[in-house]
Structure 1
Amino acid sequence: MTDLTPVQRRALRARAHHLNPVVSVAGNGLSPTVLAEINHALTAHELIKVRVYGEDRDARQQLMAEICEQTSAASVQHIGNILVLWREAPADEKSAAEVKKKPAPRAAADKPKARAPYSRDAAAGLAKPAGRSTRTAAPRRQSRG
């Protein structure tokens, strides 16, 4: 099991805040298939949430310790029925993921060209009449008196 510093734990909690649980542990407990799914999710995402149904607090703590021991993951947080786990991805998979995330450089032909400011009248080929306003004045109200 990996030990995390308080600073690392805080950063991981912040990253996990918006995540939804990807694995649920229900009445059958921690079966080999559930453990395999947790292992797969950790490999794919590094940081996951696991929802535990129908266990008391002490049982969830033991379940968290067992999951961390069997998957070589670190316990980040345990709040209510949600367990947050983290395991660093292997270096070869991490480099492949970084390559996928980087956008391809844009070619010079793909870059948008600067355009002249758009004018609706100019586009329609209309010229403004000289000395006239394009707005019409609203009629004045007369006071009742």
Structure 2
Amino acid sequence: MITSKQRSYLRSLAHNIDPIFQVGKGGVEENFLKQVDDALEARELIKISVLNNSGLEAREASDIICEELKCEGVQAIGNKFVLYRRSMKKPKIELP
């Protein structure tokens, strides 16, 4: 669990990041989770957008992914959300 100060720091880092994945009408599937898992290991902080036809809100998709991959939902605004998980191999982001 991250503190509010750490969450604020991660939000500031995520501000300039472009979304690298989209949750579409297929929803959150196994292949999608595998790709997100790999991206979290490589980058630690990622942004994902939710398409209008997906049937999910950004917060719902974030909660599902966080539960499956044991990551932290940093922020959900509009149709985008940010996820964080510390890398097991090479941590890049040093939290305050």
When normalised by structure 2's length, the TM-score is 0.86
The match for 2:57 among 51, 59, 69 is 59
Q: Secondary structure at the match of 1:49?
A: strand
1:94 aligns with 2:94: no
Distance 1:12 1:67 in 2: 18
Q: Which amino acid aligns with 2:41?
A: T
Residues 2-22 of structure 1, C-alpha deviations (whole Å, 9 max, x = no match): x21110000000011110111
- Counterpart in the other structure of 1:40: 38
Conservation of the 8 A alpha-carbon contact between 2:73 and 2:82: yes
Q: Secondary structure at the match of 2:90?
A: helix
Conservation of the 8 A alpha-carbon contact between 2:66 and 2:72: yes
- Counterpart in the other structure of 2:29: 31
Aligned length: 91
Q: Which amino acid aligns with 2:50?
A: V
- Counterpart in the other structure of 2:82: 84
Q: How far apart are residue 60 of structure 1 and its match?
A: 2.8
Indicate the percent of aligned positions where both proteins have the same amino acid: 34
Higher normalized contact order (CA 8 Å, seq sep 6+, divided by chain length):
2
Distance 1:19 1:61 in 2: 18
Conservation of the 8 A alpha-carbon contact between 2:47 and 2:80: yes
Q: How far apart are residue 59 of structure 1 and its match?
A: 3.4
Q: Which is strand-richer, 1 or 2?
A: 2
Distance 1:71 1:49 in 2: 15
Q: Which amino acid aligns with 1:94?
A: K
Residues 87-141 of structure 1, C-alpha deviations (whole Å, 9 max, x = no match): 0001xx217x7xxxxxxxxxxxxxxxxxxxxxxxxxxxxxxxxxxxxxxxxxxxx
Unmatched tracts of structure 2, length 5 or more: none
Unmatched tracts of structure 1, length 5 or more: 98-145
Distance 2:76 2:59 in 1: 8
Q: Which runs of 4+ in 1 moved over 4 A?
A: none
